[in-house]
Amino acid sequence: MKIGLLGGTFDPIHLGHLRAAENAREALGLDRVAFIPSGAPPHRGAAVSPALDRFAMVCLATASHPRFLAWDDEVRRPGPSYTVETLAGLRESRPGDAFVMIVGSDTFPEMATWRDPDRLFRLCTVAVVDRPGEGGLAGPAPTGPGEVTRVAGPGLPISATAIRERVRRGESVRYLVPDGVCDFIAKRGLYA
């Protein structure tokens, strides 16, 4: 099985994440796309909402798509969530599957600063999804033996930061996030 992996803080997951995953799924012929919320992201400050709430939102957001999955690998693991460790664990537990790491064009240049980037590039193909207003594959990144491919397609200019700010100001986020995520944010009082 060819599985796309889309990791992130997902604080909250929004329609831009889902559209990027769908672009990659179609362009690369992925059998599934697994969304993996980070438990403790090492490159950012602490997430605003708890890991289990972020995982719940990912579950709600992906539930209606037959090829989208929510995986809790990083939420269950204590300590910082390093992509290379997650990927190595998945390769060990699922030796028959091929993995494609899906990243946004804004994240791709940062990969050079991730833990053991050369090993990460040996463990998977990396697919860079264009984000509106970003320049694609520009910027320094590891150039190991792994393959890097660009994924074009319609993107949505939505950011989790802007969504959190809208909630804080008491503004609606409906149609920026899936309905179930919008309701979950309201019921849990997240970002207020």
pLDDT of 135 > 70? The answer is: no
Q: Residue 38's pLDDT is what?
A: 94
The share of the chain scoring above pLDDT 70, in percent, equals 92
Q: CB count, 10 Å around CB of 15?
A: 16
Determine the Cα–Cα distance for residues 95 and 162; give it in Å rounded to an integer: 39
pLDDT of 143 > 80? The answer is: no
Q: Look up residue 13 and give its DSSP letter.
A: -
Q: Taking the chain, what is the end-to-end CA distance rounded to the nearest angstrom?
A: 41
69 vs 134, more confident: 69
Please say whether the dihedral angle defined by the alpha carbons of residues 111, 115, 119 and 125, taken in this order, is positive or negative: negative
Under a CB-based contact definition with an 8 Å cutoff, are residues 33 and 69 in contact? yes
pLDDT in tens, 165-177: 999 999 999 999 9
Cis amide prior to 142 (ω within 30 degrees): no
Helices (H) and strands (E) in the chain, counts: 7, 6
Instruction: Encode burial over 149-166: b for 16+ CB neighbours within 10 A, e otherwise.
Output: eebeeebeebebeebbee
pLDDT of 136 > 90? The answer is: no
Determine the Cα–Cα distance for residues 6 and 1; give it in Å rounded to an integer: 16
pLDDT of 137 > 90? The answer is: no
Q: Look up residue 150 and give its DSSP letter.
A: E
Q: Which helix (H) or strand (E) covers residue 37, if one does?
A: strand 32-37
Determine the Cα–Cα distance for residues 160 and 138; give it in Å rounded to an integer: 23
What is the three-class DSSP state of 100? strand
pLDDT in tens, 43-96: 777 779 999 999 999 999 999 999 999 999 999 999 899 999 999 999 999 999
Is pTM, for the whole model, over 0.95? no
Q: Residue 123's pLDDT is what?
A: 94
Task: Report the CATH superfamily, name and number, of domain 2-156.
Answer: HUPs (3.40.50.620)
pLDDT in tens, 153-166: 999 999 999 999 99
Q: Residue 141's pLDDT is what?
A: 45
Mean pLDDT of 106-132: 92
Q: Residue 131's pLDDT is what?
A: 79
